[in-house]
Amino acid sequence: MDLNMDLNAPHSMGTTIIGVTYNGGVVLGADSRTSTGMYVANRASDKITQLTDNVYVCRSGSAADSQLVSDYVRYFLHQHTIQLGQPATVKVAANLIRLLSYSNKNMLETGLIVGGWDKYEGGKIYGIPLGGTLIEQPFAIGGSGSSYLYGFFDQAWKEGMTKDEAEQLVVKAVSLAIARDGASGGVVRTVVINSEGVTRNFYPGDKLQLWHEELEPQNSLLDILNSPSPEPMNI
């Protein structure tokens, strides 16, 4: 591995991002790893970015590109909200993201998932992959970690979940992707958006469920060595 090249590689978010609709709103989820080549530049990044009070976006791909697109759209939406006199709809936010992504398709490298709640359509999720296609979906997955989740969601996704079911699904999925994708890691962040407002949640890496071939974390080998040996079995 050419370490020099990797340390100077453009900041990119390997990433796993997810957006899921449920009966009453949406749940957005993401990991927290930002890498430059092989080095983890930020192990606790926040990839779920606010656009308005009721619309958030999950960012993947180039950190710079996704941040700039979010900043521009936040700016446009702010003006739009003032002119409109009421909160912007999720559809408008998604279309603004699409406009920037499509017009600059040759220069941008970012896949985004827009999610939010408005009074007209309720909870909505829009995927905007590379190229600038706009696609409304009941759930969306993105980032390099999403490759490992297509089968999982085919099996586990159900229409009309409750808020807690949806959030548990998102946390489980991001956690599974982190287990297999080197470019995803750290903590799981979720944002729940519904008519009542927005709730941010934080699931630290050591609190997530253990998967195949993962072991319970210990403070030290010494603790294992010093613990009493198992009792012989009585048949």
| CB 172 to another protein: min, Å | 21
Is residue 102 involved in binding another protein (CB under 8 A)? Answer: yes
Comparing C-alpha atoms, which of 153, 107, 125, 130 is closest to residue 58?
A: 125
Q: Are strands 139-142 and 39-42 parallel, antiparallel or unpaired?
A: unpaired
41 forms part of the interface with another protein (CB under 8 A): no
Q: Which residues pair with 200 in a beta bridge?
A: 191
Residues 6+ apart with CB under 8 A from 94: 114, 124, 126, 128, 134, 136
**64 contributes a contact to another protein by CB under 8 A:** no
Q: Based on CB atoms, which residue is closest to another protein, 52 or 110?
A: 110
**Can you tell me which of 133, 195, 209, 218 binds another protein, judged by CB under 8 A?**
133
Q: Closest Cα partner for 63 from 31, 97, 111, 20? A: 111
Rank residues 27 and 108 by Cβ distance to another protein and give the closer one. Answer: 108
Q: Does 158 bind another protein (CB under 8 A)?
A: no
- Using CB under 8 A, which of the segments 114-122, 133-141, 164-172, 215-223 binds another protein? 133-141
- Contact between 226 and another protein by CB under 8 A: the answer reads no
Q: Mark whether 15 is an active-site residue.
A: yes
Nearer to another protein, 25 or 127 (CB): 127
Separation of alpha carbons 197 and 143, rounded Å: 26
Residue 9 contacts another protein per CB under 8 A:
yes
| Tokens (6 digits) for 14 | 């390997």
